[in-house]
Amino acid sequence: MEKTFAKVEELADHIKEYVNIRIDSVKLSAAEKSSKLAATIFAAAIAAFVFLLFILFAGIALAFVFSRLTGEYYWGFLIMAGIYLVLGLIIWSMKEKFLRIPIMNAMLQQLFKDEDDDEEN
């Protein structure tokens, strides 16, 4: 009878240890995934900022080109403003297809990448 109680206590200790290890494993996995996601978001933000600077300076250069063609500075900048307005309206009308869904897919792929890799092996 004493052996049975000792084995039950030993089993309970093993179960507690397993649960604690499993909790630690989940915490580490969540920390790893969130840090990867944060790094991806940070890198995308930097790339978007650089791309925005490129668009800004290219737009200013094109505005001066249009200004030279029209003979007045304000016409060149108004033409570029109109081009930006049209592009903005096109992007806004297609935001679901070109922005929201790809961003969600990229984030979900980043979050569940390790689980998919483990299932394939």
Pairwise CA distance, residues 121 & 118, whole Å: 5
Q: Could you write out the three-class secondary structure of 34-89? A: HHHHHHHHHHHHHHHHHHHHHHHHHHHHHHHHHHHHHCCHHHHHHHHHHHHHHHHH
In a domain, 1, yes or no: no
Q: Write the CB contacts of 29 (distance below 8 Å, at least 6 apart in sequence).
A: 114
One-letter amino acid of 57: F
In a domain, 3, yes or no: no
pLDDT recorded at residue 118: 52
In a domain, 72, yes or no: yes
In a domain, 16, yes or no: no
pTM score over 0.75:
no
Domain that holds residue 41: 33-120
Pairwise CA distance, residues 70 & 59, whole Å: 16
In a domain, 24, yes or no: no
In a domain, 5, yes or no: no
- Please tell me the total count of domains within the chain: 1
Q: Write the CB contacts of 76 (distance below 8 Å, at least 6 apart in sequence).
A: 62, 63, 64, 65, 66, 67, 68, 69, 70
Q: What is the pLDDT along the chain (121 residues), one digit of tens a residue?
A: 788 888 888 899 999 999 999 999 999 988 888 888 888 889 989 999 999 999 999 999 999 999 999 999 999 999 999 999 999 999 889 888 877 888 888 888 877 776 545 555 4
